[in-house]
A and B are shown apart, each in its own frame.
Chain A
Amino acid sequence: MSAKPILEKLAVLADAAKYDASCASSGTVRRDSVGTKAIGSTEGMGICHSYAPDGRCISLLKILLTNFCIYDCRFCINRASSNVERARFSPQEVVRLTLDFYKRNYIEGLFLSSGIIRSEDYTMEQLVEVARILREEHRFGGYIHLKTIAGADPGLIALAGLYADRLSTNVELPTEEGLSSFAPEKKPETIRKTMASVRVGADAAIEAAKSRLIGKAKPPRFAPAGQSTQMIVGADAARDDDILKTATNLYSGYQLRRVYYSAYSPIPDASQDLPPVRPPLMREHRLYQADWLLRFYGFERAEIMEGARGGMLDLAIDPKLAWALQRREAFPVDINRAPRELLLRVPGLGTRAVDRIVAARRLGKLRLGDLAKLTASVKKVLPFIVTPDWRPGKLTDSADLRARFAPPAEQLALAL
């Protein structure tokens, strides 16, 4: 293999990594470098050190160890049959880059993935080796996110969990048919098994921590920031309902912290099986909103789909509003008396606004003017609420309520 200069490798292997949406560095344990006298800390809340012009946060050095790959997934820039330029880092080079970037405060840590070379186990070993060098030889305390290679030996995954804050295995396509036609080497059951072994590892570590006899003897943590996955949106025929069905299965079975939805965007040297479309960014956005409803607003998938048509979420309005328009009998809701769960269902009220309302109404009745200080969009909530100085009357049931919120058609076209 010819030795490319580091700048060229970096350009190739960062370019190859950008289709992975995750860049989170939050949700892990607190660590600092005071005890180790080395470098690196994590404080719970992640930090985005920069933003690219695509609006995405840059929190981690997100690169591939190599973009050589024996798999031939149609949607992937690194598939075996692609003519993209190839490169490979040595573990030492990745360690060097990570530390150099970290010391200049460019990043929170490393997100390392890789094309599959030789075998799943060999590839996983290489990823684990980078994390090992960082943690053991440099006592690096920053954030590490490792990709778990589906099908790798559970022993390697157990090792990865000891060094990494987060592990992730990408589902990529939500349905069995999608995977078998676009990613013939990927098997959904292999992916699920890998996720299961991450969860079993995490459960075992929690169990060990609970049952320890000496309070101070802390057993090693296992991927304290949990595991996540990604699904590509718009590359195959899967509907939003399929995507959310898979997401709820994964959340419930493997305790995923996050499911990322990534609008399929054109890649250089694309396979002819894929339409050269604009990335469906609005669809991606609606899926994230639906995901939030599932995790923080007490919605079930079936309820969210009540506001959908043909298994697809409404692109013009958000999924909570779409649901509320189908369920008008549940409104209006009394801001001063409704329980928290009901307030969460009011379109336009987020979890924070609801918390503020619940806290503020203990000290006195809330009127519309008060509400303006607690939430950003009073106008949006008006048809769905009651306060001492406001009743929506017929507004809640008016036929043109949707038109009040949906943007004019030409704007929608732009947003897409």
Chain B
Amino acid sequence: MREVVLKEPGDFAEWRSAARGLLASGIAPDDVSWRGSAEGASLFGDEAVVAPAGAVSLPRELLEIAERVICHRDPETAARLYRIIWRAARDRQLLARTTDSEIDWLRKADKAIRRDVHKMHAFVRFRRLGEEAGRESFAAWFEPTHRILRLTAPFFQRRFYGMDWAIVTPDARAIWQDETLNYGPGGTKDEVPDSDLVEDQWRTYYGAIFNPARVKIDAMRAEMPKKYWKNLPEAQDIAPLLAGAEARVERMREAAVSMANPLTDKWRTRVPEDLLLDDDVKTLADVARAVDRCTRCPLYCNATQGVAGEGPERARIMLVGEQPGDQEDLQGRPFVGPAGQVLNEALEEAGLDRTRLFLTNAVKHFKFEPRGKRRLHQNPTTGEIDICRWWLDKERALVQPDLIVTLGASALRGVTGKSASITSMRGAVHELEGGTKLIATIHPSFLLRLPDRERAAKERALFVADLALARKLAA
């Protein structure tokens, strides 16, 4: 039987070098007895074997876990870890065997350590020592469940670089001073100040943020176990807060409804006069403002905003699309999404300047179906198109274009009030009541949906040709 005496329980480097030596010499776990030592006896008894680093290869994940788990206070930890690495050296899949009882122990021990580390990050409470040359210094007393100071100190270093601090625990201490982190021996509570002025503010905050109407003591104790309370300044308030909670809620419930605060009307904001009547809509700016408040159909309920047309009031050509898409809905402008990109490129190719066109949609609010993190476009119904026609007519009356280009079937319906297939109308110039000319073509989003490259190129060329025809007609 080989006896190993560890000088410092919880010191990963010491355990690792011992374990490496044993592993390299092929000494089985059953032939080793691991002991902690208070008086600091020699590491390996008489027959130390020191193996060079890297002599035995182990999964990196296992070493990372071992570095944490060695901090566990369970006296069997060193032995159990050695048994696991002994097996891991022979079974590369060992860590994945979550149903193995030793791996189950390892995972649970690791979880306990990580929880303890997390709780230490959370529950250390610094008290102010003083200030020198503009640099403040603080100290904290903390009693972690396991020997985890070295696992937690780097976190405090990253967080509190700009101040000096010390954390004292029963096993060890960490001191951050002059931008250096040092470790030292354990200490006692009275090395740390017993008060801090800011604690009064903290306790006031703790009491005020507590809602007496929803007491859930078990939820609190599950996350903030009682063992930590003795070093948390706010914990002394838990009992009195709980004792008074029921009475506070009762008082709220029984209090007679009081008169409104006399300053209410002075403070209250005037509800803005934003509800334009239909007859008040006289300019394109009015349309933009009023369409955003339109409730003629229920589409406004879920959309971000009504998206009105955009372009010069004297535009000769009006382009009408179907409805705003995801991006148009967010940005409040027509044709700024993927279909807008396609349109922009086609316009350029056809020799049309977008800034001289009036672009709008048959329906002014985005209709969609939520699906996870995306909104899927839905076609508007003819009913929705017909209701929204009021706005399109208004825009037509204000802009008075010579030519309207409808993009897609919904746009055609919006402009003509009738459903017709684009194929039957395409390629010809139609005349609307009042002499306005009409060209019907596809919606650019149609091009985005074509999986076949050759067909997409063909359709795109046709689309550009339609736009070029529009340019010729308006010239």
Contacts and interface: CB of A to CB of B under 8 A. Distances in A.
Nearest to A31: B158
Interface stretch (A159-167, A247-255, A333-341, A382-390): A247-255
Interface in B297-322: 300-305
Given A50-B234, A101-B198, A176-B301, A55 B159 contact: no
Contacts of B224: 50-51
A15 B217 CA distance: 19
Interface string A102-114: 0111100000000
Nearest to A45: B118
A52 B220 CA distance: 6
B122 A54 contact: no
Given A39-B161, A266-B249, A359-B96, A193 B304 contact: yes
B292 A15 contact: no
Contact of A33 (B126, B161, B201, B326): B161
B38 interface: no
Contact of B138 (A10, A43, A101, A103): A103
Contacts of A267: 252
Contacts of B271: 184-185
Given A32-B159, A104-B198, A52 B263 contact: no
B255 A269 contact: yes
Contacts, number: 255
A373 B98 contact: yes
A101 B269 contact: no
A61 B205 contact: yes
A338 to B, nearest CB: 18
B446 interface: no
A32 B220 contact: no
Given A41-B158, A374-B98, A56 B371 contact: no
Interface string A222-261: 0000000000000000000000000011011101000000
A200 interface: yes
Interface string A70-100: 1110000000111100000000000001001
B213 A252 contact: no
Contacts of A104: 125-128, 138, 196, 198-199, 202
B216 interface: yes
A51 B219 contact: yes
A55 B305 contact: no
A6 B208 CA distance: 14
A55 B216 contact: yes
Nearest to A278: B213
Contacts of B217: 53, 55
A268 to B, nearest CB: 5
A309 B395 CA distance: 46
Interface residues of A, number: 95
A116 B204 contact: no
A267 B252 CA distance: 7
Interface stretch (A128-136, A362-370, A393-401): A362-370
B84 to A, nearest CB: 16
Contacts of B372: 251-252
Contacts of A48: 122, 223
- Choose among B126, B162, B218 the residue with the greatest number of A CB atoms under 10 Å from its CB: B162
A39 B162 contact: yes
A281 to B, nearest CB: 6
Contacts of B43: none
A37 interface: yes
B368 to A, nearest CB: 8
Interface string B22-50: 00000000000000000000000000000
A43 B196 CA distance: 27
Interface stretch (B237-245, B405-413, B431-439, B448-456): B237-245
Contacts of A301: 370
Given A55-B220, A106-B202, A82 B211 contact: no
Interface of A: 6-7, 10-12, 14-15, 17-19, 32-34, 36-41, 43, 47-58, 61-63, 68-72, 80-83, 97, 100-101, 103-106, 116, 141, 176, 184-185, 188-189, 192-193, 195-196, 199-200, 248-249, 251-253, 255, 263, 265-272, 276, 278-279, 281, 300-301, 356, 359-360, 362-363, 366, 369-370, 373-374
